[in-house]
Structure 1
Amino acid sequence: MEKPRKKFIDVIDKAIIAGKALDHDEKLFTYKGTFYPVAFCSLEVFRAMETFEARSDDVILAGYPKSGTNWLGQILSDLVATCEKKRPDEAKNVNDEELEEFPYLEIGDIEKYERMKKLPSRRVILTHLCPGNLPKSVFKNKAKILLLIRNPKDVATSFFHFSNKLPALPSHKTWDDFFAAFMTEKMPWGSYFNYISEWNKYATDENVMTITYEELKENRPLGVKNIASFLGISLTEEELQNVVERSSFQSMKKNSEKTHGALGSMLFRKGGVSDWKNLFNEEQNEKMDKVFEERIARTKLGSKLKYDVYCK
């Protein structure tokens, strides 16, 4: 994961250029009632994505934007790459640049899904999509799904800063303007609350593991071990420790220009918990508390978020 990723950086650079050429109101389009950024996604790609055939040994990392998917993606890819290195078959080299694809399933071109057929198992695939917008084969073939969730106040805070840095997304002049948008359906990739509600329907499936951003921050070594166990990956203590060290915020930020190009400085800002306290006012706190209580609090994912610990 620390090697330069040319195709990844090319996609990001093109999206930044495209975003700069678009007015604020031109940056999003809708598909099945959800907003997506024009610079990253397209109707043609979504239609082509329906042909994607998931494998039972695929690893799908699902997370709402700014929940930590790039961070956990590093951990997953590192775990798989470390495991693959132990195999004698060199044809399974997951670092082959010719087979590299942008890791997010919904971002790319219409030929992407044909090329992905050539990728060796085990494929690590990231997505911000709700389950209803994923290809049906993901569930039919019981791909392994790692669901990453993060408390909504820190998600909103991180999304606000990220949107104002990345030209491909609509920016907001003030935090108040962004908060108003976040509490509606008008966010890129849709509503956070819809996202959690929809994924909650799959939270008890045997091929789904849920992990929170906060628990991974609290104890990264344990989180990495649990993920490896879920995926059936057997590594030595030294190998696991190396994965843990390479996935530290400091390590990833240091290598971000090489791994993420211009996106690196936008992604790796603070990497902490409770930054929301620097932005939320009392009225906004009360409004989000109320919506969380009404829509998510009594669900399995809602209880896992430990809202009273991280959002009060």
Structure 2
Amino acid sequence: MRDSTISWQKKLAQGFSTVASLLEYLELPQTLGEALAEKAFPTRVPLSYAQRMQKNNPRDPLLLQVLSTASELSSVQGYVTDPLEEKKSNPQKGIIHKYEGRLLITLTGACAVNCRFCFRRHFPYQDNNIGRNGLYDLAGYIRNDPSITEVILSGGDPLLAADAVFIELLQLLEQIEHVHTLRMHSRIPVVFPARIDERFLKIFSETRLKKVLVLHINHPQELADAEVKSVLTSLAAQDFFLLNQSVLLAGINDDASILAELSQRLFQHRILPYYLHILDKVQGAAHFDMDLSQAKEIFYTLQKLVPGYLLPRLVKEEPGKLSKTLIL
């Protein structure tokens, strides 16, 4: 049951901010974590997400996504700080513009959870902090380019922005006739469902824009929570078109049966599997990667386990390309 007596901001502050405190909560040895890795990329895990982890299980698939380890400190050839070369497509503060007809806004650098494989773990958010005043500059950029029909909110996690920011942003976008779709990429409904409160839903219920919400769910265990299920039901009821994209992660979901279960559970919540991503080669995350041949084998097996409408597309992003590269 959702507790509305405590603000979502206070609930977020109750999360874990060190690997030591997370491991203590899970009754696991401190030797599993690496505090030095936190200096470059801090630990951030909401309590509601940690509650879905199995205690005394060092291989828990949710824990492994957020556990800072010594592997992050290794320098591996080919793994870089800007794997998608986004700086080349960053024409002004808060904007990434590389795809035809679409514009991406890094609305905030904050996340409820810091996934250790994040491709933007080294992104210069300090240089892209738009603030509320910057929304007008963003609107001006979009207004001057009539080819832009879809605005994508990213981050960080865009759903951590304040309600007032969403109200102002929606008002600005609705005044631009050539913008039809607002897409958001977020982990929030799954890792921190308390953020999706009644006020948030009301704000988005009143927009003329088509609403697409791309969730980032990597394992079926992430859906094993009553509050998450309630939030997903509410989002679907408010006409959010729900999609999911997963990252193929060694030791976490590199098994066709796990991915098949994920697809089935997503569909139960009116979410369509959209993409299965090959890991972006970001510095500090090489231990999550796998050979492309292994990824293909997993996908071929998955293809036999689910109907076509529950089969995500296996893709990878390559710097400089004007679309994702379809592998299978």
Relative to the length of structure 1, the TM-score reads 0.32
Query: Which structure has the highest helix share of the two?
Result: 1
Query: Which structure has the highest strand share of the two?
Result: 2
Relative to the length of structure 2, the TM-score reads 0.31
User: Relative CO higher for 1 or 2, CA cutoff 8 Å, sep ≥ 6?
Assistant: 1
